[in-house]
Amino acid sequence: MDVNSLHCFRLAYESGSVSQAAKRAFLTRQGMSQTLKGLEADLGRTLFVRTPQGLEPTPTADLVYPKAVDLLGSYEAIRAICSAEDPVCEPVRMSMSLGALDSVPFDRLVEEFRADHPGVRLELDIVEPVIAERCVAEGGEDVAFIVGNLEGPRTRCTRLCDIPLHVAVHESLLPREDRHTLASLRGLTWFGLSESFPLDEAIMDLARTRGLDLSMSFDWHDYHLILDQVRQRRGACVIPRHRVPAFCTDGIVAIPFDGEPCTWPLNALTPRNRPVSAAARTVLDWFSERLQREA
């Protein structure tokens, strides 16, 4: 057992998904799975039950998690004592949901922000939207970017931009046509996140209006698992426009929504019960202006 394995355990516990934990740790899914299995072997206990919906923590994992958080906090405190960070660089703790991360080219935008504002140090984390809202409310994060509306009594949700979407589907599931439209999806399985998610509600309304006879599936509550279903030629889902060139390869095609307004909102969460720092305000203003252009 080492710091890396505890860090991977914490990410897996908080995200409930191997793929999300792997992305946050900059590992492959296989690498994350091997690390978790190695930790379980070291401890002699099962920490997660693997299900189609993701990872389900065991009672042992529930006991280990707070201890792991404490140990990792102590480790970071020791590193901070020994580090020589520039004291004039003001930190902004910023979390992003995977949906937000997939919506726009954040890697490039973060690098551009750092070049424009060297006096602000972004401390980035990738978490589930519910955890992001809790962290902002409790002061663990200064700001969070999420997809959808998730405003709580201690947080404020502000619209940054609307992300244009396309349909992603493998061409083998479509009729032979010169041009594919929404009508080409008739009778297919549609993979969504939840019947109550506004975008999925809009898709169901659109399917009824257009007579598409879609079979709605909400079995996969992880967007990256939904994308895997499309790769495996099992149905269709939405894809943010900026991801189309990278994702739509090897027979996967992107179909526009034929003039139908189909977007998902990219929002910022900020605290309602305490002032936003000047550095955090700089982050919000810069990203708000830049995201309007990107979208």
Looking at residue 157, what is its pLDDT? 92
Q: What is the pTM of this model?
A: 0.67
Q: Is the dihedral of CA 224, 192, 133, 108 positive or negative?
A: positive
Rounded distance between C-alpha atoms, residue 75 and residue 7, angstroms: 11
Please state the length of the chain. Answer: 295
Radius of gyration of the chain (CA): 21
Residue with tokens 């991977």: 8
SS3 state of residue 233: coil
| Predicted confidence pLDDT, tens digits, the chain (295 residues) | 788 889 889 989 998 888 888 777 766 777 788 889 989 988 999 999 988 888 899 999 999 998 888 888 887 777 667 655 555 678 899 998 888 888 888 888 989 999 999 889 888 888 778 888 888 998 889 999 998 888 788 999 999 999 999 999 999 999 998 889 999 999 999 999 888 888 889 899 999 999 999 999 999 877 888 899 999 999 999 999 989 998 999 999 999 987 667 888 999 999 988 888 899 999 999 999 999 887 6
Residue ranges of domains in the chain, CATH in brackets: 3-82 (1.10.10.10), 90-161+268-294 (3.40.190.10), 162-264 (3.40.190.10)
Q: Which residues contact 125 (CB under 8 A, 6 or more apart)?
A: 24, 93, 94, 95, 96, 141
Distance CA 1, CA 12 (A): 16
Q: What is the DSSP letter of 107?
A: H
| Angle formed by the axes of helices 106-116 and 278-294, nearest 10° | 130
Amino acid identity, residue 69?
V
**Residue 289 amino acid letter:** E
